[in-house]
Structure 1
Amino acid sequence: MQVSRAVCGVYEIHPERVERARAALPGEAVLQEASLLLKALADPTRMRLLLALRAAGELCVCDLALLVGVSVSAVSHQLRLLRQARLVAFRREGKQVYYRLADAHVAQLLEGALEHAEEKKT
């Protein structure tokens, strides 16, 4: 089976396009932060946690562990990573901690990822 490769047939630079693309690139700090965010999303367990929070609004660690079928300890570890990426927020109620999506942007990211994954390949 032959794999097609997209390569330039002619070496030609398009300065206007290159400059427009360069001007549109965010700063290094923003690129690093966005990369960390996408890395945090790149795990099926973390995606399940986020999708469960999107559906329920707010859940405790025990609820999340039951939903995704892993230990409370494993869920806590994953939630720590999601907090560091600013994808989830939490609140305390006595000894209980409840998690929710950090903001509407997270829900939009999840929606976009699911839409893209469900598209038919052409």
Structure 2
Amino acid sequence: MINQENEEMLVNLAELFKVFGDSTRIKILYALLEKEMNVTEISEALNMTQPAISQQLRILKSSGLVKFRKEGKSAVYYPSDEHVKIILNIGIEHLGD
């Protein structure tokens, strides 16, 4: 049975999965699993414009999937925790079945 507490959790889970529903965001997350990068490095790695990357990074930050730290005038992005890697790897495993 779905009670009010479960309902809220399931709505939040659906919102999280929406973030994973964009291929650009998935590419950014996948790239950040390899190494921490700034916006310029991500845009070069994905062959996309910096504004496009910045827009997707804002969504990933607000969803708690990436964090950043300042290095001089630049922000270096990285996955927020091990769960991001686990979620991506489970999705990849599922596709392989």
TM-score, normalized by the shorter chain, greater than 0.5 = yes
Task: Give the letter for the 1:97 counterpart.
Answer: A
Task: Give the letter for the 2:24 counterpart.
Answer: T
CA-based RMSD: 1.7
- Whether 2:25 is the aligned partner of 1:50: answer no
2:64 partner SS? coil
Q: Could you list the runs of 5+ residues in structure 2 that have no partner in the other structure?
A: none
Distance in 2 of aligned mates of 1:62 and 1:42: 23
- Whether 2:69 is the aligned partner of 1:91: answer yes
Per the alignment, residue 106 of structure 1 pairs with: 84
Q: Deviations over 1:86-120 (max 9, x none)?
A: 1101111121100000101111000001111122x
Give the number of aligned pairs: 97
Please list every run of at least 4 consecutive aligned residues from structure 1 whose deviation after the TM superposition is greater than 3 angstroms: 23-26
Q: Which protein has the larger Cα radius of gyration, Structure 1 or Structure 2?
A: 1
Could you tell which deviates more after superposition, 65-74 or 28-37?
Answer: 28-37
Q: Closer, same or farther in 2 for the Cα pair 1:24/1:68, shift >3 Å?
A: farther
Task: Give the letter for the 1:76 counterpart.
Answer: S
TM-score by length of 2: 0.91
Q: Could you list the runs of 5+ residues in structure 1 that have no partner in the other structure?
A: 1-21
Task: Give the letter for the 1:90 counterpart.
Answer: F
Q: Which has the higher contact order (CA 8 A, sep 6+)?
A: 2
Q: Deviations over 1:41-92 (max 9, x none)?
A: 1111111100000111x11000100111110000000000111111101111
Matches within 5 A, 1:60-71: 60-71=38-49
The alignment-based identity, stated in percent, is: 33
The structure with more helix, counted as a fraction of residues: 2
